[in-house]
Amino acid sequence: MTQSPWLKSLRTPGVALALTLSAGAVQAEDPIKVGILHSLSGTMAISETTLKDTMLMLVEEQNRNGGLLGRQLQPVVVDPASDWPLFAERTRQLLEQDQVDVIFGVWTSVARKSVLPVVEELNGILFYPVQYEGEESSRNIFYTGAAPNQQAIPAVEYLMNEYGIERWVLAGTDYVYPRTTNRILEAFLKAHGVADEDIMINYTPFGHSDWQSIVADIRRFGSQGKPTAVVSTINGDANVPFYRELGNQGISAEDIPVIAFSVGEEELSGMDTRPLVGHLAAWNYFMSVDTPENAAFIDKWHDFIGDTRRVTNDPMEAHYIGFNMWVQAVEAAGTTDVDTVIDALKGVTVPNLTGGMAEMLVNHHITKPVLIGEIQEDGQFLVVWQTDDLIPGDAWSPHLPGSRDIIADWTPPISCGNFNTVTQTCSGQNY
Amino acid sequence: MLTRRLFLSDWGGITVLVLLLAMVVAVPYANLVLPPESPWHLSTYWVALLGKFLAFALLALAIDLIWGYAGILSLGHGAFFGLGGYAMGMYLTRQIGDRGVYGHPELPDFMVFLSYESLPWFWWGFDMFWFAMLMVVLVPGLLALVFGWLAFRSRVTGVYFAIITQALVFALMLAFFRNEMGFGGNNGLTDFKDILGFSVQARETRVALFVISALTLIAAYVAARYIVTSRFGRVLIAVRDAESRTRFAGYRVEHYKLWLFVFSAMLAGIAGALYVPQVGIINPGEFSPLRSIEAVLWVAVGGRGSLFGAIIGAFAVNGAKTWFTAAYPQVWLFFLGALFVLVTVFLPRGLVGIFRRRRTEGGA
Amino acid sequence: MTVHCNAPPHGRGWHSTARRDSAPGPAGASAPDAVAAASTQPTGLRRSRAHAWFVAGFLLLLGGSLHAEPQILASQPPTTEPAMTTTGFTIVAQADPYASDFFDPSLLDAGAEARETETAEADDDLLDEAAYEALEEAAPDVDLLIQRLPEGNFNDRRAVAEELAATGDPRVPVVLGALLEGRLLATAEDPPRILIRAETGRAGRDALTGEPVDADLIASGRRIPVHNPLRNALRSLIAVSTLSAPDPERRATSLRRLMRDDVSPDLLEYLDDRVELEDDPRVMDLLLTVRALARLNVDDAQVRLESVELLRGSLLSEVRVRLEATANRDDDPEVRAAAREALDSIEARIRFFRFTENLFFGLSAGSVLLLAAIGLAITFGVMGVINMAHGELIMIGAYTTWFIQTLMPGALSTSILLAIPAAFVVAGLVGIAMERGVIQFLYGRPLETLLATFGISLILQQAVRTLFSPLNRPVQSPDWLSGTLQVNPVLALTWSRIYIFIFAIMVFVALLLVMKKTSLGLKVRAVAQNRPMARALGVRTGWVDALTFGLGAGIAGVAGVALSQLTNVGPNMGQAYIIDSFMVVVFGGVGNLWGTFVGALGLGMMTKFLEPHTGAVLAKILVLIFIILFIQRRPRGLFPKKGRAAEA
């Protein structure tokens, strides 16, 4: 079925509205409110709109299957407009005005940092679906994206073992996720005997578009006779000119492979993929993974969005997992009461889309497989490697000096997101 | 006498001041005293929201003072707003003390994480409230002084001035994005705990911040009125309308402009300082050139050159933004864009202009 | 004359980690007559295993006679030891480099197509059924090996590929080449049929028999996956076998490959022979370099010294790496000193080329700025409209490019060329609409045009988001816009940047001509200088305004076409250029096209020369601060407008 893009975009809010109406009409009892906090305008709309649609799809399906606890789910969509303080304000609105039972949303680290005090103050539940830098564990946030040890470290290990890489370029956009990831990687690499001069670290501003000098530097750095790879934490819009420049300067994935942590199917769908073919990405999910769960998910997505060309990606899987975990926890608890559900969420196990089971751990992170994919011409990934086991997410990296002794454990007797095992204290949190 | 001078024929300003005073009384009552079940109860969400609007209104007032009365269009007032905000944010960050996630007695979390050995020199003193408050006005004031002195002395005016202020705020944004700067990079400063020993999350603190913002705005309005109705202010208007002629009449135009610019920057800094504890975060996004342009729009919508118009504009546009982004997110930018166009083409004197015209027509 | 060469006793491995093995290999077995009958010479240097018996029987024809009778070929079944990644290899050389067509995959494919369209005899010389049969008899296990390629993981595949290469079977380079390029398919049968898809089109052939197969079967085949390490291994495996390919380009490619890997002494001898045969001067250079690199490892210090001399002046990074190693670690102090000296002279040359490269980067960054700013130089510079929607006009141009590209897939070059006028017209019309709809009411109030056009920019952005989704749009580049102009190994200029530079200059010159030589230009300048006077003289100022604004907007659209080749096409793309564009125009001097030109190139150059020292972020900040200070010194920019108009 073909549908013009503008019809489509008109349709999606319509769906939300229709859902709201039908939910109200069918159920006499109050619906369970699901807050969806993703930017629909501004710079982040490019990534977050899809997640809003994913959530609407999951809610719609749940309602079709009879809702939850015999009640319908009602999505409450708000737009924080890619404005970080507005994220906090919208969260307050969702929790205080709309009285939602759970929030799914947020993409960037800064938005999460902005939202965190509010969900803690108003005791909400937030499912955060994006891979992030770690170094955080809040009682009220459940992190369904990858922590650094579920993406960055395995990726580097893979390059070390499979490619025999000895020289590393850590290139990133200058913000907290690349900074943290690169610090962890730097510590990790040095622990594995990589010398200082074999690590090149480079930061660029958001949306950097002139990569000539940097790519030339990378080329020179990589031509010193040792196998070289680029670990890219380059964000969003800067990727297209980066890969184009790599391609134009004749750096192929065989010479200097680039492994990216922020380039997924959705980003690829907006790029000319030819300069990227053969380069790598590390995620916990790829659309190309061949499992029945994934096939069903993709079908549902295509049905819902009305366009078979749309792709699925890792954060969508994270929302899928997070939503199912929440549903299961609410069913187990028999209530949507926040404290009860938070307790019930620990240890919840739901299938992920790659054929394994995701478990919510006591540090509010989940277990995930790590997959490495090679970018193909069609914008999909060929899985070239994957971990045998599921990897539990680390809230605090053991590779960083500051967080080495810190653990997160939200079960008694610790019940703390940043418990220092040396001083036996839990600092700074409001409980 | 002074009151007469300040408020003579400023009926709009009086109305706005009365409304603000009414809010100072009503908001705490509705939030703290009335029970949540009461239909008149005002939730903390609204208190924080209105408090934010007040901070924005103060910024708009600062812009209107230079744009409406001296013809200086600054597309970079976000720079002063942001610097004031950062000064406040630094104080609040220092107040976290050893309650950060890493439990370091002195260093903020992001510094622990970036392996700082000790507090950088520019963070010294920010644990003291009075010092931080001094910086809130001093840093933006100094920047405005240097920048304005250079610009006005060389007679950089109009469009050129607008564009280099934009360059200024853009450069600041890029600089604050850098983690090496020591201000928390893109994440900025957040997760504040206390202000002067009171929890920033407590309802009472929020209400208090709201009241302080409202009172500050009132004071700033009166001060601005004082300036524009003084002899100084009349020279400024002369500068706005015929700069060369004023200069030839023997006035040191650049001095008048400079002092007004510095004052305006200080007001913007105070606005930023009021904004930060109420929204709970300060980050380089405040330096985004788009934000500064948006702030200019508040003034344009409200009505340039009337001071209270700026306050009305800030409330109107931000109120619309809050409502639209919640109810019709897709439409918001269309609306904002159309507002820009319609106001500049059809309402060159803003919302205030509508009433003024009606009044003059009625009086005629 | 033939020379029979046995594997040397100390077979240095392919990789530096190769084990040394003192056991000499047995003499090579003679090849099947059929192979010779098919006038084919297996050119594969085939690998066996590192510690395997080194087997090489091979035939060389010194003197390079093209008509020499092919004689004996070496072929030794792989030893049965377990596969190792470190291997020595056997050289199966051949007499005549031009007789190796059989092994050229591209020719094989060409043959496949020829057969489809023409007669069955078209590629008889390539694929002789009898030859195939003979081959199968000779090496029956090759079939089985090829059929094992789809099995297991990448490492298994690599082991099989190495075994295959070691067989010296003439089909192996073809099969591995197809595997490398992702054109080797396997059917679902058991055992699978292995198929080779042609480089173009949907046809293909059977990998084992060489028979053409129909497109349906090809379509049913699943691609045998490869990943980068495997691709690298395959390239090395194939490189040796294509050292004697008829196409000089392929020989060069394989030599460049060899440059990275350690060359073993037995290959060195083969290189000596190639030197005798080579007739392409460029390939010869490479060949001599590779040989010199290989000779850096020989025992004779004099030879090493000569090699260092030969490598002096080469800019290849591989050479530098090896010279560095020699300079640090060679046993002979004289060789060390020579290597150090050679390195120093190379470094001096590199410094010069790096400067040139920086210059190019600066010019190219400047040309992007010029393109982005030049439309603004009209709308802002000439008309005084602070056009904050300028970035969105660029975006419209880029979307037009994307739209035209989706309308005509498969005609990339045409679509790009067509997009230039189309983007000009579309963006120009939007510009005229803006001017007539809004801006015409705001003349004389420049600061308010800023607000109004900013509003328009928000509307345009959100309109694009609503119409085309907030996702970026993929815009492809035609081949002539990708790749590099390789001046020398350390100086490569990317074609897209060169074209954009030329394009920017063309746009600038065209605009200059329009302004100086046409009546529109005359009227534009007249209106800009003195509007009432122009009107009094009969200029329809309204129309001139609309057309001028349309011109500026159209040029912004054209810039969008160029930028779509460099960066994202999405709703936010305009934002990235707007501030830079204003800086350029203000820096250059409002109302002066030459000012914009000099300003753009100057700022581009400045950024690029700062960037290596300060990093990208700080460079940008410093440039902004520079502009702010510069404007304080010269409030009207580099080239201020003089006279009455300046006060407007």
pLDDT tens-place values along chain B, 364 residues long: 677 777 777 788 889 999 999 999 999 999 989 888 888 888 889 999 999 999 999 999 999 999 999 889 999 999 999 999 999 999 999 998 888 888 888 888 888 888 888 899 999 999 999 999 999 999 999 999 999 999 998 888 788 898 899 999 999 998 998 888 889 888 899 889 889 989 888 889 999 999 999 999 999 999 999 999 998 888 888 888 888 888 888 888 889 999 999 999 999 999 999 999 999 999 999 999 989 999 998 999 898 888 999 999 999 999 998 888 777 877 888 988 998 899 888 888 888 887 766 555 443 3
Q: Residue C579 and residue B289: Cβ atoms within 8 Å?
A: yes
On the question of pLDDT at A282 being above 90, the answer is yes
Nearest by CB: A224 against C231, C235, C321: C321
3-state secondary structure of C76: coil
What percentage of chain C has pLDDT greater than the value 70?
A: 77
Pairwise pLDDT comparison (C78 vs C326), residue with the higher score:
C326
Is there a contact between B310 and B298 (Cβ–Cβ < 8 Å)? yes
Spell out a b/e string for A395-420, using b for 16 or more CB atoms within 10 Å of the CB, else e: bbbebbebbeebbbbbeeeeebbbbb
Residue with tokens 């090996």: C145
Is there a contact between A117 and A98 (Cβ–Cβ < 8 Å)? no
Taken in order A12, A13, A19, A22, the sign of the CA dihedral is negative
Interface check B113 vs A, CB under 8 A: yes
Mutation choice for C interface testing from A7, A244, A371 by most C CBs within 10 A? A244
Residue C247: how many CB atoms within 10 A of its CB? 15
Report residue C131's pLDDT band, with 50, 70 and 90 as the boundaries: low
Measured distance CA(A75)–CA(C298) in Å, rounded: 75
Q: What is the 3-state secondary structure (H, E, C) of C157-203?
A: HHHHHHHHHHHCCCHHHHHHHHHHCCCEEECCCCCCCEEEECCCCCC
Q: What is the pLDDT of residue C32?
A: 37
DSSP symbol at C440: G
Question: What angle separates helix B332-346 from helix B289-302, to the nearest 10 degrees?
Answer: 50
Query: Looking at residues A342-357, what average pLDDT do you find?
Result: 94
On whether residue A186 sits in a domain, the answer given is: yes
d(CA C463, nearest CA chain A) in Å: 10
Radius of gyration of chain C (CA): 32
Give yes or no: residues C188 and C304 share one domain. Answer: no
Give yes or no: residues A84 and A10 share one domain. Answer: yes
Radius of gyration of chain A (CA): 21
On whether residue C255 sits in a domain, the answer given is: no
Q: Residue B332 and residue A79: Cβ atoms within 8 Å?
A: yes
Interface check A247 vs C, CB under 8 A: yes
Spell out a b/e string for C526-562, using b for 16 or more CB atoms within 10 Å of the CB, else e: bbbbebeebeeeebebeebbbbbbbbbbbbbbbbbbb
Burial group, residue C487, by CB count within 10 angstroms (0-12, 13-18, 19+)? middle
The token pair at B45 is 């969400």
Q: Residue C616 and residue A214: Cβ atoms within 8 Å?
A: yes
Residue B82: how many CB atoms within 10 A of its CB? 32
First to last CA, chain A: 53
Question: What angle separates helix C541-563 from helix C412-437, to the nearest 10 degrees?
Answer: 150
Residue B129: how many CB atoms within 10 A of its CB? 15
Least confident of A315-329, B280-294, C228-242: C228-242
Give yes or no: residues A78 and A180 share one domain. Answer: no
Q: What is the pLDDT of residue C575?
A: 85
Give yes or no: residues C199 and C323 share one domain. Answer: no
Give yes or no: residues A16 and A57 share one domain. Answer: yes
On whether residue A208 sits in a domain, the answer given is: yes
- pTM for this one? 0.83
Measured distance CA(C366)–CA(C280) in Å, rounded: 39
Give yes or no: residues C175 and C31 share one domain. Answer: yes
Burial group, residue C188, by CB count within 10 angstroms (0-12, 13-18, 19+)? exposed
Touching A: C residues 154-213, CB under 8 Å: 154
Those residues whose C-beta lies under 8 Å from the C-beta of residue B180, and which sit 6 or more positions away, are none
Those residues whose C-beta lies under 8 Å from the C-beta of residue B6, and which sit 6 or more positions away, are B222, B225, B226, B229
Residue C410: how many CB atoms within 10 A of its CB? 6
On whether residue B345 sits in a domain, the answer given is: no
3-state secondary structure of C222: strand
Pairwise pLDDT comparison (B350 vs A346), residue with the higher score:
A346
Nearest to residue C44, comparing CAs of C124, C112, C104? C104
On the question of pLDDT at A315 being above 80, the answer is yes
**In A, which residues are within 8 Å of C358 by CB distance?**
213
The token pair at C383 is 């008309």
DSSP symbol at B201: T
Quote the number of domains for chain C.
Answer: 3
Is there a contact between B142 and B265 (Cβ–Cβ < 8 Å)? no
**In A, which residues are within 8 Å of C350 by CB distance?**
none
Measured distance CA(B103)–CA(A406) in Å, rounded: 10
> A386 pairs with which residues across the strands?
A371
| CATH value at residue A218 | 3.40.50.2300
Measured distance CA(C388)–CA(C454) in Å, rounded: 5
Is there a contact between B354 and B308 (Cβ–Cβ < 8 Å)? no
On whether residue A12 sits in a domain, the answer given is: yes
**In B, which residues are within 8 Å of C635 by CB distance?**
154-157, 160
Q: What is the pLDDT of residue C642?
A: 58
On whether residue B316 sits in a domain, the answer given is: no
On whether residue C254 sits in a domain, the answer given is: no
Q: Residue A418 and residue B325: Cβ atoms within 8 Å?
A: no
Q: Among the ranges A92-96, C80-84, C484-488, which has the highest mean pLDDT value?
A: A92-96
Measured distance CA(A394)–CA(A363) in Å, rounded: 8
Tell how strand A32-37 and strand A102-105 pair up. Answer: parallel
Those residues whose C-beta lies under 8 Å from the C-beta of residue B196, and which sit 6 or more positions away, are B129
Give yes or no: residues C152 and C80 share one domain. Answer: yes
Give yes or no: residues C318 and C346 share one domain. Answer: yes
Touching A: C residues 213-242, CB under 8 Å: 225, 227-229, 231-232, 235
Length of chain B: 364
Measured distance CA(C572)–CA(C559) in Å, rounded: 16
On whether residue B239 sits in a domain, the answer given is: yes
Least confident of C61-75, C437-451, C520-534: C61-75
On whether residue C597 sits in a domain, the answer given is: yes
Give yes or no: residues A271 and A165 share one domain. Answer: yes
Give yes or no: residues C531 and C596 share one domain. Answer: yes
Give yes or no: residues C613 and C635 share one domain. Answer: yes
Give yes or no: residues C45 and C92 share one domain. Answer: yes
Pairwise pLDDT comparison (A409 vs C313), residue with the higher score:
A409
Nearest by CB: B329 against A79, A93, A136: A79
Touching A: B residues 271-290, CB under 8 Å: 279-281, 283, 285
Report residue A392's pLDDT band, with 50, 70 and 90 as the boundaries: very high
Pairwise pLDDT comparison (C82 vs B157), residue with the higher score:
B157
On whether residue A24 sits in a domain, the answer given is: yes
Report residue C129's pLDDT band, with 50, 70 and 90 as the boundaries: low
On whether residue A335 sits in a domain, the answer given is: yes
Give yes or no: residues A127 and A207 share one domain. Answer: no
Give yes or no: residues C333 and C368 share one domain. Answer: no
Pairwise pLDDT comparison (C577 vs C54), residue with the higher score:
C577
On the question of pLDDT at C20 being above 60, the answer is no
Nearest to residue B303, comparing CAs of B317, B292, B290, B291? B317
d(CA C513, nearest CA chain B) in Å: 28
Q: Residue C570 and residue A270: Cβ atoms within 8 Å?
A: yes
On whether residue C11 sits in a domain, the answer given is: yes
On whether residue B45 sits in a domain, the answer given is: yes
Query: Looking at residues A203-230, what average pLDDT do you find?
Result: 88
Pairwise pLDDT comparison (C95 vs A240), residue with the higher score:
A240
Give yes or no: residues C160 and C212 share one domain. Answer: yes
Nearest to residue B206, comparing CAs of B88, B22, B54, B44? B44
On whether residue C556 sits in a domain, the answer given is: yes
C548-570, pLDDT tens digit by residue?
A: 999 999 999 999 999 998 888 88
Name the closest residue on chain B to residue C455, using Cα atoms.
Answer: B337
Give yes or no: residues C607 and C574 share one domain. Answer: yes
Interface check C409 vs A, CB under 8 A: no
Q: Residue A113 and residue B191: Cβ atoms within 8 Å?
A: yes
On whether residue B303 sits in a domain, the answer given is: no
Give yes or no: residues A103 and A28 share one domain. Answer: yes
Q: What element of type H or E holds C59?
A: strand C59-61
Name the closest residue on chain A to residue C475, using Cα atoms.
Answer: A272
Is there a contact between C470 and A46 (Cβ–Cβ < 8 Å)? yes
Radius of gyration of chain B (CA): 21
Give yes or no: residues A218 and A350 share one domain. Answer: no
On the question of pLDDT at C355 being above 50, the answer is yes
Contacts 24+ apart (CB under 8 A), B225-231: B225/B6, B225/B7, B225/B10, B225/B13, B225/B307, B226/B2, B226/B6, B227/B65, B227/B260, B227/B263, B228/B65, B228/B69, B228/B307, B229/B5, B229/B6
Q: What is the pLDDT of residue B299?
A: 93
Measured distance CA(C173)–CA(C93) in Å, rounded: 14
On whether residue B306 sits in a domain, the answer given is: no
Least confident of A354-368, B210-224, C29-43, C603-617: C29-43
Interface check A154 vs C, CB under 8 A: no
Burial group, residue B90, by CB count within 10 angstroms (0-12, 13-18, 19+)? buried
Mutation choice for A interface testing from C223, C228, C412, C580 by most A CBs within 10 A? C228
Quote the number of domains for chain B.
Answer: 1
Helices (H) and strands (E) in chain C, counts: 24, 11
On whether residue C595 sits in a domain, the answer given is: yes
| C518 φψ region: left (φ > 0), alpha (ψ -120 to 50), beta (else) | beta
Touching C: A residues 172-211, CB under 8 Å: 174, 202-205, 207-210
3-state secondary structure of B336: helix
* Interface list for chain C against chain B, based on CB atoms closer than 8 Å: 384, 386, 388, 438, 441-442, 445-452, 454-459, 461-463, 466, 575, 579, 582-583, 586, 590, 617-618, 620-621, 624-625, 627-629, 631-633, 635-636
Give yes or no: residues A235 and A164 share one domain. Answer: yes
d(CA A322, nearest CA chain C) in Å: 24
Give yes or no: residues A82 and A135 share one domain. Answer: yes
Nearest to residue C86, comparing CAs of C129, C49, C140? C49
On whether residue C7 sits in a domain, the answer given is: yes
Residue with tokens 């907007």: C553
On the question of pLDDT at C174 being above 50, the answer is yes
Q: In what order do the strands lie in the sheet with C212-213?
A: C212-213, C204-206, C194-197, C184-186, C222-223
On the question of pLDDT at C606 being above 50, the answer is yes
B293-339, pLDDT tens digit by residue?
A: 999 989 998 988 889 999 999 999 999 988 887 778 778 889 889 98
Q: What is the pLDDT of residue B167?
A: 92
Q: Residue A213 and residue C361: Cβ atoms within 8 Å?
A: yes
In angstroms, what CA-CA distances link C353 with B79, B99, C223, C348, C359?
Answer: 42, 55, 43, 9, 9
Q: Residue B48 and residue A121: Cβ atoms within 8 Å?
A: no
Output the average pLDDT for chain A: 88
Q: What is the pLDDT of residue A73?
A: 95
Q: What is the pLDDT of residue C166?
A: 79
Name the closest residue on chain C to residue A209, using Cα atoms.
Answer: C567
Domain that holds residue A82: 5-145+290-369
Domain that holds residue B159: 2-288
Quote the number of domains for chain A.
Answer: 2
On the question of pLDDT at C122 being above 60, the answer is no
A84-120, pLDDT tens digit by residue?
A: 899 999 999 999 989 999 999 999 989 999 999 999 9
Domain that holds residue C143: 2-246
Pairwise pLDDT comparison (C572 vs A373), residue with the higher score:
A373
On whether residue C271 sits in a domain, the answer given is: no
On the question of pLDDT at C124 being above 90, the answer is no
Give yes or no: residues C431 and C334 share one domain. Answer: no
Query: Looking at residues C563-584, what average pLDDT do you find?
Result: 88
On the question of pLDDT at C6 being above 60, the answer is no
On whether residue B339 sits in a domain, the answer given is: no
Output the average pLDDT for chain C: 76
Q: Residue B329 and residue A78: Cβ atoms within 8 Å?
A: yes
On whether residue B334 sits in a domain, the answer given is: no
Nearest by CB: C586 against B75, B163, B171: B163
On whether residue A11 sits in a domain, the answer given is: yes
